[in-house]
């Protein structure tokens, strides 16, 4: 068996082609594997973002509801305070009028007593 350089060249060429083909297949498989892993990671990240957004939206809704409830409570308290101010103001006015009447009665009683004492002294 005689080894011809042409045959060796063809054999080496075939081996290089086979190795190149295997390398291309392995590289393609690795690229596909990386892409699938990245797609999987991206899908997980996307789902996590969606879930986080749902939670954020739910919390924002709760905050908005609480703000509305707080404003309603503030308005109610403000109305109650205004009502109490009006009631107490009217009560104070009434008490002031009663005090003035009592002062007038006391002044009149004092005048009467002074008048009686003057009459007694003059007798």
Both structure tokens of 30 = 């690795």
Q: Give the pLDDT confidence of 13-63 residue by residue, as tens digits.
A: 888 888 988 999 999 999 999 999 999 999 999 999 999 999 999 999 999
- Indicate yes or no: pTM above 0.75: no
Q: What is the mean pLDDT of residues 92-112?
A: 94
pLDDT (0 to 100) of residue 120 = 83
């Amino acid at each position: 068996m005689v080894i011809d350089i042409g045959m060796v060249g063809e054999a080496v060429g075939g081996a290089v082609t086979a190795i190149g083909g295997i390398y291309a297949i392995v590289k393609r498989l690795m690229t596909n594997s990386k892409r699938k892993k990245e797609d999987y990671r991206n899908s997980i990240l996307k789902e996590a973002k969606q879930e986080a957004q749902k939670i954020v939206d739910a919390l924002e809704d709760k905050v908005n509801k609480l703000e509305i409830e707080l404003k309603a409570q503030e308005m109610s308290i403000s109305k109650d305070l205004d009502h109490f101010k009006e009631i107490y103001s009217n009560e104070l006015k009434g008490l002031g009028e009663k005090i003035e009447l009592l002062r007038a009665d006391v002044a009149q009683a004092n005048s009467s007593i002074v008048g009686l004492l003057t009459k007694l002294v003059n007798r």
